[in-house]
Structure 1
Amino acid sequence: MGRASTSETTCGVGVASTAATAIGEAVSELKAALSGDFQHIIAFFSADYDAAGLATALGEAFPRVAVSGCSTAGGIGPDGLMESGVLLIAFPHDGFRIHTGVIEDVGAFGVERASEIVRGLKAQVGLNSDSPIAERVFGVMLVDGLSNAEEPLLAAVHWACGDMQLIGGSAGDGLSFDGTSLIHEGRLLDRAAILMMIESDFPFRIFKTSNFEPTDIKLVVTAADTETRTVHELNAEPAAREYAAAIGLMLDDLGPFSFASYPLVVKVGGDYYCRSIRNMN
């Protein structure tokens, strides 16, 4: 029998993680580690778990608590970096009001529906389109990582949200890229996104950190399939060969570790943002 690691913030948000591989054991440890009057739990879990079974078990363990979450490629828990396991972030009733919406079929209709979903959530918060919300409301969005729709979806949500700060990311499945999972209130979602608007009575600040330093090497995409996000050419040369030359490796040496060690970044508004390479075709 393992043990769940846990921590609690001064505003009552609980955090717990477990490395137990069996769903029943993992959920039992998490339930024992979290105590409080919670209203919503965000779950991040390894793709090794059966997502539907985990969603059911979490719903039974926390029967009066809404649960949203997604599969990941690792995480950061109370004890540090996690390669697998389950991580829960639990929001209490006191000091928070959480409103959620699901954007279905993000590849085809999600972008069109995103603004509608945001307007509905803002109405629940009690805001009109001109109301400043950045100081008391922030958004969290989880997206199917294989939908190839994150950028247009994020742009639509950001435009509709106004000055609300937004964080989140893409669901992962380790480095398999076979199938990611999102769960929401007992449902298993496919090609969807979960958007949460979180009202907070406590002050908050959104920040980002980067563990890379930009170099003087510039790569320009000169041929690509934007629908599948496949880059064919960099600097008018075959993409993989040009990338390998830029980082000083042979073409056959490219793989997940070289992609992670030498990420591509794009400069937007004075800041650098990582653009990960999924794989080499």
Structure 2
Amino acid sequence: LEQALPAAQRQRFFGSSTSGEIVPRGYQLETVAAISFDRSHFSGVARKIEGLASFRFHQARELVLSMQRELRRKVPGANSGNTFALLLIDGLSQAEEYVAAALGNELGSIHLVGGSSGDNWQLQRSPVLCEGAYHDDSAVVLLVHTSLDF
């Protein structure tokens, strides 16, 4: 993806590597899973978290409050009833549960979904994609408002 897309387009993409995907035919390796959000129904803000081993609860609070402020500037009606959070996190960081718990605690009633990156069980590198490049020992958090029911 880093080579395939111009830099301006990469800025709008977030993702992670995987160890396999569940597809209509079952579990498969070396495929691509993607999700997109239609601008007419979704608006969001994203942040990268680096250095997951040193991420602390007070940082989660600052991060979530900052994201909520930015989202409310974009969409004044954003609240826990029409907003969700998406977390993509380095699966080799050994910080997944802690980071998810810290963010979940600060998000309150905003639903948190997501997953861990993988590397086809090689256990060497499982980066996340953010800001046009891949990052190790990192996570990407998106706070997404929608006009659709969920």
User: Offset of 1:166 from its aligned partner?
Assistant: 0.5
Q: Please give the alpha-carbon distance, in whole angstroms, between the structure 2 residues aligned to 1:149 and 1:113.
A: 14
Q: Which residue of 2 aligns with 1:194?
A: 140
> Which secondary structure does the structure 2 equivalent of 1:180 belong to?
coil
Aligned to 1:145: 91
Matched residues in 2 for 1:132 and 1:87: separation? 28
In structure 1, C-alpha distance between the alignment counterparts of 2:90 and 2:11, rounded to whole Å: 23
| C-alpha RMSD of the superposition | 2.5
The answer on whether the counterparts of 1:103 and 1:114 sit within 8 Å (CA) in structure 2 is no
Aligned to 1:184: 130
Q: 2:68 aligns with which of 122, 138, 151?
A: 122
For 1:81 and 1:135, how far apart are their aligned partners in 2?
Answer: 33
- Percent identity for Structure 1 against Structure 2: 30
Q: Residues 44-96 of structure 1, C-alpha deviation per residue, up to 9 Å, x if partnerless? A: xxxxxxxxxx2332x32983860000000111346654321222212121110
Contact 1:68 1:183 in 2 (8 A): yes
The runs of 4+ residues in structure 1 deviating greater than 4 Å are 77-80
- Structure 2 counterpart SS, 1:151: helix
Query: Which protein has the larger Cα radius of gyration, Structure 1 or Structure 2?
Result: 1
The superposition leaves residues 195-241 of structure 1 with CA deviations (integer Å, 9 ceiling, x where unpaired) of 0011111111xxxxxxxxxxxxxxxxxxxxxxxxxxxxxxxxxxxxx
Structure showing greater relative contact order (alpha-carbon pairs closer than 8 Å, 6 or more residues apart): 2
Moved more, 177-186 or 108-117: 108-117
Match of 1:258 in 2: none
1:66 aligns with 2:12: yes
Partner of 1:168: 114
Structure 1's 102 and 118: CA in aligned 2 closer, same or farther, altered over 3 A? same
1:249-260 → structure 2 map (5 Å cutoff): none
Normalised by the size of structure 1, how large is the TM-score? 0.48
Query: Which TM-score applies when normalising by structure 2?
Result: 0.85
SS of the aligned residue for 1:101 comes to strand
Amino acid at match of 1:157: L
Structure 2 unaligned spans of 5+: none
Whether 1:107 aligns to 2:53 is yes
